[in-house]
Amino acid sequence: MKFEQVKHVGVVGGGIMGGGIAQVIAAAGYRVTIKDISDQIIEETRDGLIEGKWGVKRAVEKGKMGYDTAAQVIKLVDFTTDNIDLKNCDVIIEAVPEKLDLKQAVFKELDALVKPEAIFTSNTSGLVIQEIAEVVTDERKTRFLGMHFSNPVPVMSMCEVVTTPQASTDSIEAIVGIAKASKRAVSMVKDMPGTYGFILNRVFAAAAKEARKIVDDGLASPEDVDKAMITGRNWPAAFFGNRGGIGKEW
Ligand SMILES: NC(=O)c1ccc[n+]([C@@H]2O[C@H](COP(=O)([O-])OP(=O)(O)OC[C@H]3O[C@@H](n4cnc5c(N)ncnc54)[C@H](O)[C@@H]3O)[C@@H](O)[C@H]2O)c1
């Protein structure tokens, strides 16, 4: 599957991440099908996409998205509770909860159902991509990558594209192309067995550990650690609850 051939993206899991991912991908002109497990969750996802805090209606009101793009997103995103509706997707982005066995079960079923040339990606925060991909055929492993977005997706432009030794050049180029078309700032990172996290979460975890040690050693208060990072490094979010700007506004 080459970048130019990608027209239809399946997003599996319409929760916090899936809804936002669908929004930015549809804003780039791709048809998107969101699959979740119940009609009620689908309704909540649809509502969030349109009326939610990071939804298209508010994005238009805030001047972050044009009216035409918002209308395009609403038109291009459809919903299902049945995997069969994903069978002709060119790319799958999985965003179900962070459990290896659940992700593997999802991919095993999709591998048997979705066309062989489709590219599979996981939005895992840090599970090893090659371990998630253990359940798919060797052929699909050449089209299996990580695509790690940041929350809230319409606001935070990061996308880590996680590559494995098996991943083909075409699949990497296609996923990078879709991410860039969706206005993501792409960082490339290699999958690494024995670790948890790619760039963002590993660096943040290391810094958070050090922040916790400074507090535990009685050297500074949580407030002063947060204040130092926010005012000294412009970190919008620090460690102990003082979140600066993140998660509040566009
Ligand atoms: N929330 C974040 O800040 C964040 C950031 C980056 C990455 N992630 C990663 O994204 C993934 C999803 O996280 P989230 O916060 O959106 O979780 P969430 O719980 O908000 O959403 C997960 C959705 O998956 C659905 N689901 C469960 N089983 C399913 C199945 N078999 N088929 C289809 N849908 C199914 C659930 O009903 C739910 O709507 C996780 O791997 C997480 O680590 C989360």
CATH number of the domain within which 50 lies: 3.40.50.720
For the cut 70, the answer to whether the pLDDT of residue 250 exceeds it is no
Quick one: 84 and 181 in the same domain?
yes
Helices (H), 77-166: 100-113, 129-132, 138-141
Q: Domain end: 190, 216, 235, which one? A: 190
Quick one: 248 and 124 in the same domain?
no
Whether 16 lines ligand 1, by a CB cut-off of 6 Å, is: yes
Whether 15 lines ligand 1, by a CB cut-off of 6 Å, is: yes
Indicate which atom in ligand 1 lies nearest the CA of residue 151. 3
Using the CB atoms, write b or e for 114-153: b if 16+ within 10 Å: beeebbbbbbbbbbbbbebbebbeeebbbbbbbbbbbebb
- Give me the domain span that covers residue 139: 3-190
**Is 80 contained in some domain?**
yes
The pick from 49, 83, 96 for probing ligand 1's pocket by mutation, whose C-beta has the most ligand atoms within 8 angstroms, reads 96
What pTM, to 2 d.p., does this model score?
0.96
- Segment 72-81 shows an average pLDDT of 98
Q: How far apart are CA 139 and CA 142, in angstroms?
A: 6
Whether 95 lines ligand 1, by a CB cut-off of 6 Å, is: yes
> What's the 141 CA to ligand 1 centre distance in angstroms?
22
User: Which sign does the torsion angle of CA 57, 58, 59, 62 carry?
Assistant: positive
Quick one: 64 and 149 in the same domain?
yes
60 backbone dihedrals φ, ψ, rounded to 5°: -70, -45
Which of 122, 123, 160, 171 is the catalytic position? 160
Q: Check: CB of residue 18 under 8 Å from CB of residue 34.
A: yes
The pick from 125, 131, 132 for probing ligand 1's pocket by mutation, whose C-beta has the most ligand atoms within 8 angstroms, reads 125
Quick one: 63 and 123 in the same domain?
yes
**Is 195 contained in some domain?**
no
Quick one: 87 and 41 in the same domain?
yes
Quick one: 15 and 139 in the same domain?
yes
Average pLDDT, rounded, for the chain? 95
User: Which sign does the torsion angle of CA 186, 241, 48, 38 carry?
Assistant: positive
Q: Check: CB of residue 109 under 8 Å from CB of residue 86.
A: no
Whether 98 lines ligand 1, by a CB cut-off of 6 Å, is: yes
224-239 tens-digit pLDDT? 999 999 889 888 777 8
What tokens were used for 206?
A: 């290391």
Quick one: 8 and 87 in the same domain?
yes
90-130 tens-digit pLDDT? 999 999 999 999 999 999 999 999 999 999 999 999 999 99
Q: pLDDT-based confidence at 58, cuts 50/70/90?
A: very high
Report angle CA 190, 192, 198 to the nearest 5 degrees: 65
Side chain identity, residue 132:
I
> What's the 220 CA to ligand 1 centre distance in angstroms?
36
Quick one: 103 and 209 in the same domain?
no
List, in sequence order, every beta strand (DSSP E) within the chain.
Answer: 8-12, 31-35, 77-80, 91-94, 119-122, 144-149, 158-163, 185-190
**Is 196 contained in some domain?**
no
Q: Check: CB of residue 21 under 8 Å from CB of residue 158.
A: no
Quick one: 83 and 136 in the same domain?
yes
Q: Domain end: 190, 216, 239, which one? A: 190
Quick one: 158 and 246 in the same domain?
no
- Domain count within the chain: 2
Q: Check: CB of residue 211 under 8 Å from CB of residue 196.
A: no
- Segment 15-30 shows an average pLDDT of 97
